[in-house]
Structure 1
Amino acid sequence: MSPRNPGTTLDLEWISKVRVNTQAVLKRAQFIQRQKIPKKQWQAAWLLKAATLIDLTTLAGDDTSSNVHRLCLKAIQPVRYDLLKKLDMHDKGVTTAAVCVYPSRVTDAVGALKAADSSLPVASVATGFPAGQTPLETRLQEVRIAVSDGATEIDIVINRMLAITGQWEAMYDEIRQFREACGPAHMKTILAVGELGSFTNVYRASMVAMMAGSDFIKTSTGKEAVNATYPVAIVMVRAIRDYFMSTGHKIYHQVTGQYAAYHELPMA
């Protein structure tokens, strides 16, 4: 596990002065996307690394204990043994980063992993995922229940209305309360970037979330019309770098697609 982010006091002056250069971000994204893709053994190495950074996830309305159990077994061995053998990685303990489920399925995941003698962490979405529109006390209680049931990582979602309308102090206060409710569990803050309206808002929401104590910031729930994009990822990583330069605390960035979430290295 990475060190916790203690957070800082909210710096509204910093937040208010932020202006993101859209054209510069788009140009940088185009440059990155033009880079050559590694081939042969280097491509295999990157793909294998990617497998170890996935939060293998099921967030379906028809989730049951049996499909959560199957998910856990897949997370313990995400790559076929014969392929790992060819890469001489069969004895290196290759697993995904975590298993991610709804709060009501945390006990199923914890039980399945324990039965398999695996220490793989269980992550749980919370705080009214994916919309974040339930009452604050309900969202806080959902976090507490997930942690009590054994989740060691909590994915919270921000109240997008607060970000869209610039109520940064209220957003900071909510996230601080979620952080306290997480207790020892790491907290990932989902920004739902497709609903924030601008790169400047994405940067501001990222910074407020980190100041409030988020250990990870995450692009999206996978449920919005627009989720992770290269430009948005660049803006979030730049915010992570700025936060590190200001505080010395490394925050991790997570990119969410429709079916999986990928941990990325911290930007320093």
Structure 2
Amino acid sequence: MEFIEVDLSASDSGEGDPKASKEDEGVADVPENNSKTGDMEEPNLEATEQQEPRRSERATKRVPPARQKGGRWTYVLVYVDDLVLCYEQERNSTEIMLKLRQNFEIKDLGPISHYLSIQVKKGKDESFLLKQRQKIEEMLQEFGMAEAKQVNTPMTTDHLKGQDDNTPLPDNQQYQRAVGKLLFIATVTRPDIAAAVGILSKKVANPSQRDWNRVKRVMRYLKGTVDARLKLPRGTSMELIGFVDADWAGDESDHKSTSGSLFIYNGGTISWASKKQVVVAMSSTEAEYVTADSACQEAITH
């Protein structure tokens, strides 16, 4: 399967909004993006309200996000005015490009290499390698961690049990910005920091100096693994494999467990999660069942 990036804008400027219409038939629900083109905005933990994207009446000028012709699939991935065509046969993508040009002014950016702050590289084995080096380096520079010493793990195993320096931070805004950026990176390409960031995100309302030190540790870990890539290999197995686990009563403050899950499809990691359970499990078996239940719900969606 090949990927082509396309930049799209309205051909009849002044009529409608090319960045909207979540209700258009066959078009995925896409959030509004207020950042510069090509960069998806990371979670804003300071915001209390979200503005709904503006809507357009140009529903008839939309291309369905996926189509099948001759037994071959072609997908159109849409984020505001940035599109990615994923196709098995080049002639199918050519037909879609012609249909797009009938209604929009578009620019063919060629084989995908950078999309929504993700660097994409095609390996010699035709696998796709994803990383966010630029996003990580910008974050390190913003928080003064560009020259920090590297560490081998994102968090120590005794974090939840530690009692060092619980002095509340005088201002939690910096902590919120840092965790928001880490959440974005963890969600998109870095499952290895998902558990650590999930734990730290619970403290955004009232973080301590200890929590801030742990946030900086995650940044130091990312500094040493800035070129780590998420691999999506080419294959034909079409097999979905899931892994689940639970940390029974790992949080000593409320004795709740943490669920962890990871799914691999066709040899590539496509979904992962680390989430605190809402109930207090009375045994390790119960904690595992709760984790398995949430993982099954995720598997069904795939």
TM above 0.5: no
> If each structure's helix is expressed as a fraction of its own residues, which one has the higher value?
1
> If each structure's strand is expressed as a fraction of its own residues, which one has the higher value?
2
| Higher radius of gyration, 1 or 2 | 2
TM-score scaled by length of structure 1: 0.28
